[in-house]
Amino acid sequence: MTKRALITGITGQDGSYLADLLLEKGYKVYGLRRRTSVPILENIRHIENEIEFIEGDIQDLSSLIRAVKQSDPDEVYNLAAQSFVGTSWTQPILTGHATALSVTNMLEAVRIMKPDARFYQASSSEMFGKVVETPQRETTPFYPRSPYGVAKVYGHWMTVNYRESYNMFGSSGILFNHESPRRGVEFVTRKITDAVARIKLGLQSELRLGNLEAMRDWGYAKDYVECMWLMLQQDKPDDYVIATGEVHSVREFCEIAFKYVDLDYRDYVVTDPAFFRAAEVDLLQGDPTKAINQLGWTPQKTSFVKLVQLMVESDLKKAEITRSEIYSLRK
Ligand code: NDP
Ligand code: GDR
């Protein structure tokens, strides 16, 4: 029988890779999509005709009830959120609604319409925030450092609570940073690779960044969505840290990315306090032992250097198109 999956956040980085994976596996994929004045389909253009879209917003319970009813899913992947940490200080209330309370909306929609569906919640390493222990594992206490992190802690515990209260199959993936060419351009990795490409092609002259010493455990998004699926194939629901176990600084990311196009980052990167965070998360490093042992998952299929290179290559292609368009307009 064809399995059916409902993905919220399907237009984002992870939703698009997860949709690729589930389609490859023969799933019927439903995607919750909110109304926008122009379509935001960049990440899913290639599979647009294979997905059945359902219009809805995670802040609107009635649309979620309709989405679960219409899709009648075996598996629900709840990826939609206001996911940018920086914005969570300028829009803390919206972040609370979209990233925290909406998880309850989704859990309620599933509980009411399809209580035996398996539910995946996109939890985050930002829940660890201030370092209590390194590396962080499933038992490490949470100490979030942003309204986003606080919102994710709420969503995480609500998923645990629905599992314990209603015996629902709810699993959370505590995912550490994962990147790709489909990453939004405001996130630091893509901001860097986009700038590297534009600087190399003469479209930009400098790159303004905040804290270059922040350390992150960066993986490749395409490798990480596989874990989301694996979590829902287990006999029992549970929570898992998904990470590579390896850390690098923002500075190191810059160094490798610029070097790949024969440039020295020190000639172009400018530190700009406008990009400092009100409360920084200095270091995140995950311990994926549980996922390796219980899910049979392999971290670091794609190495850090390879990840940086594939992002730079993708942005070089995009910058080339931009440059050609500028030249043709000038003619
Ligand atoms: P993105 O920001 O790329 O995607 C977010 C998605 O959520 C988009 O599809 C967006 O839709 C959708 N969305 C936002 N608000 C609403 C709303 N009100 N109603 C419906 N849809 C909405 O995030 P990622 O793909 O990177 O991350 C996926 C999830 O995983 C998020 O919950 C994120 O917080 C979490 N996470 C991500 C990590 C990472 O490193 N990438 C690590 C740990 C957790 P639209 O296109 O319309 O804006
Ligand atoms: P993060 O990712 O906050 O870890 O959240 P982001 O790429 O935004 O920041 C990583 C680190 O880089 C530092 N930094 C900058 N960040 C941005 N965006 N822009 C800059 O100019 C800049 N300069 C330095 C930041 O201070 C930070 O320390 C991501 C999101 O995907 C979340 O949704 C997810 O939950 C976590 O990863 C795990």
| Alpha carbon distance 311, 137 (integer Å) | 28
Distance 24 CA to ligand 1 centre (A): 22
CATH number of 4-179+218-242: 3.40.50.720
Position 206 confidence tier, pLDDT thresholds 50, 70, 90: very high
Q: How far is the CA of 80 from the centre of ligand 1 (A)?
A: 4
pLDDT given at position 299: 87
Nearest-angstrom CA–CA distance, 79 and 17: 12
Measured from the CA of 282, which atom of ligand 2 is nearest?
28
Q: What is the predicted pLDDT for the residue at 205?
A: 98
| Closest C-alpha to ligand 1, atom 4 | 12
CA dihedral 6, 12, 18, 24 (to 10 degrees): 100
Rounded mean pLDDT, 255-279: 98
Gap between the Cα atoms of 110 and 119, Å rounded: 8
Q: 64 - beta bridge partners?
A: none
Mean pLDDT of 70-97: 98
Euclidean distance between CA atoms 278 and 229, whole angstroms: 35
User: Is 80 exceeded by the pLDDT of residue 137?
Assistant: yes
φ/ψ of residue 121, rounded to 5: -110, 130
**Separation of CA 168 and ligand 2 centre (Å):** 33
Exposure string of 265-299, with b = 16+ CB inside 10 Å and e = fewer, is beebbeeeeeeeeeebbebbbbbbebbeeebebeb
Q: How many Cβ atoms sit within 10 Å of the Cβ of residue 132? A: 11
Query: Cα 205 to chain center, whole Å?
Result: 29
Provide mean pLDDT across the span 260-273.
98
Confidence at 280, pLDDT banded by 50, 70, 90? very high
Indicate where the chain has its CATH 3.40.50.720 domain(s). Answer: 4-179+218-242
pLDDT grade for 131, boundaries at 50, 70 and 90: confident
In this predicted structure, the answer to whether residue 331 has a pLDDT above a threshold of 80 is no
Q: pTM above the 0.90 mark?
A: yes
pLDDT of amino acid 301: 83
Strands (E), the chain: 4-8, 28-33, 52-55, 75-78, 118-124, 170-175, 178-179, 207-209, 215-216, 219-220, 239-242, 248-249, 269-271
- Predicted pLDDT at 202: 97
| Rounded distance from Cα 8 to ligand 1 centre (Å) | 8
191 lines ligand 2 (CB under 6 A): yes
Give every CB contact of residue 315 below 8 A, 6+ residues apart in sequence.
181, 190, 193, 194, 196, 197, 198
Please tell me what DSSP assigns to residue 97: I
> 104 CA distance to ligand 1 centroid (A)?
16
For 9-42, the pLDDT digits (tens) are 999 999 999 999 999 999 999 999 999 999 889 9
Nearest CA residue ID for atom 26, ligand 2:
211
Please give the average per-residue pLDDT across 223-235, as a whole number: 98
The ligand with the least distance to the CA atom of 98 is 1
Q: Count of alpha carbons within 13 Å of 96, Cβ hemisphere only?
A: 6
Nearest CA to ligand 1 atom 34: 83
Compute the average pLDDT of residues 97-107.
98
Tell the residue nearest (CA) to atom 43 of ligand 1: 124
Distance 210 CA to ligand 2 centre (A): 10
**What pLDDT shows up at residue 325?**
87
For 295-308, how does the pLDDT look when each residue is reduced to its tens digit (9 = 90+)?
999 987 899 999 99
Q: Is the CB of 178 under 6 A from ligand 1?
A: yes
**Calpha distance 318→306 (Å, rounded):** 19
pLDDT at 103: 98
Q: Which residue has the tokens 């594939």?
A: 310
Residues forming the active site = 124, 126, 148
Relative to the CA of 208, which ligand 2 atom is closest?
Answer: 21
The per-residue DSSP string of 166-215 comes to: H---EEEEEEPPEE-TTS-TTSHHHHHHHHHHHHHTTS-S-EEES-TT-E
Going by CA atoms, what residue is nearest to atom 3 of ligand 2? 85
Q: Give the Cα-Cα-Cα angle 105, 290, 74 (nearest 5 degrees).
A: 40
* Selection from 325, 299, 315 nearest residue 245 by Cα: 299
Give the mean pLDDT of 227-240. Answer: 98
Which residue intervals of the chain bear CATH 3.90.25.10?
188-216+247-283+303-330
Residue 187, token pair as written in the block:
């996130």
pLDDT at 300: 78
The residue assigned the tokens 């790709």 is: 180
Q: Which ligand is nearest to the CA of 187?
A: 2
Question: Minimum-distance ligand to the CA of 10?
Answer: 1
Give percent of the chain above pLDDT 70.
100
Q: 188-216+247-283+303-330, what's its fold?
A: UDP-galactose 4-epimerase; domain 1 (3.90.25)
Query: Where does the pLDDT of residue 328 fall: very low under 50, low under 70, confident under 90, or very high at 90 and above?
Result: confident
Kindly report the protein residue whose alpha carbon is nearest to atom 16 of ligand 2.
188
Instruction: Quickly count: other Cβ atoms within 10 Å of residue 38's Cβ.
Output: 5
**Pocket perturbation via mutation, ligand 2, pick of 154, 177, 178 by most ligand atoms within 8 A of CB:** 177
Higher-pLDDT residue of 322 and 67 is 67
pLDDT mean over 271-281: 97
